[in-house]
Amino acid sequence: MSRVLVTGSTTGLGKAMAAALLDDGHHVVVHARNTRRAGDVDDLVARGSDLVVGDLSIRADVVSIADQVNSLGSLDAVVHNAGVYVDRERVETPDGHAQVLAVNVLAPYLLTALVGRPRRLVYLSSGMHRDGDTSLRDLDWLDRRWNGVQAYCDSKLYVTTLAAAIARRWPAVHANAVDPGWVPTRMGGPSASDDLTLGHVTQTWLAVSDEPAATTSGRYWFHQQPEQPASAVGDVDFQVALLEQLAQRTGIELPES
């Protein structure tokens, strides 16, 4: 059985995934943004899950989450499930970042760098990553006029590229990105057209399955089928440039292999 951290476990796909893992006998580390939201996973904790708490939009909290996780012992997999969708206005974090960048990109990057290296890493992406801006200009939207949809697309391009960069840089780790589809979670909304149940199947499979396909790396998945991501994702120069930007913004260099 595996030990798996699932960020953003209090609702939606994260909670569904954590419950499914528990049903299959795995050990789960669940995550809540704050102590109030931690009550939403009381049922999972009662079933044996460990709980870590911290706001992914705040750098100090992300570092604390990493410390909490590391104190629990080694992990077999981390699923970077947490994310925010389209902010109508630029929401600035206490560290001065756009919230969508901080939660969707900087937090997964920091946790990847700081949490003891597991055998598997899964990053939640979106088909909208294909509309992301590859210029890497003004990641925090300090100079550009705010566009919430574009900022979200950018964040998903960056995290998808992060997964590909990890797969290349850490060959002993299976790192993959997953498009869960447009599902009717709180983020996706009631009009979402994809199957809610299928929304967490692929990342669960990648986190724990021993099937040969699930133990590959560097792929972009949709409903357990590999798809071709945006061309920038596999561009090594773009990967390197992105990692440099993320290191500058977090103060943490991603360890070498």
Let me know if 220 is a catalytic residue. Answer: no
In contact, 9 and 15? CB cutoff 8 Å: yes
Distance CA 70, CA 145 (A): 40
Residue among 109, 123, 156, 158 flagged as catalytic = 156
Which amino acid belongs to residue 44?
L
Let me know if 152 is a catalytic residue. Answer: yes
In contact, 37 and 51? CB cutoff 8 Å: no
DSSP codes of every residue in 125-150: --GGGGG--TT---TT-SSSPP-HHH
Residue among 109, 123, 152, 158 flagged as catalytic = 152
Residues noted as catalytic: 152, 156
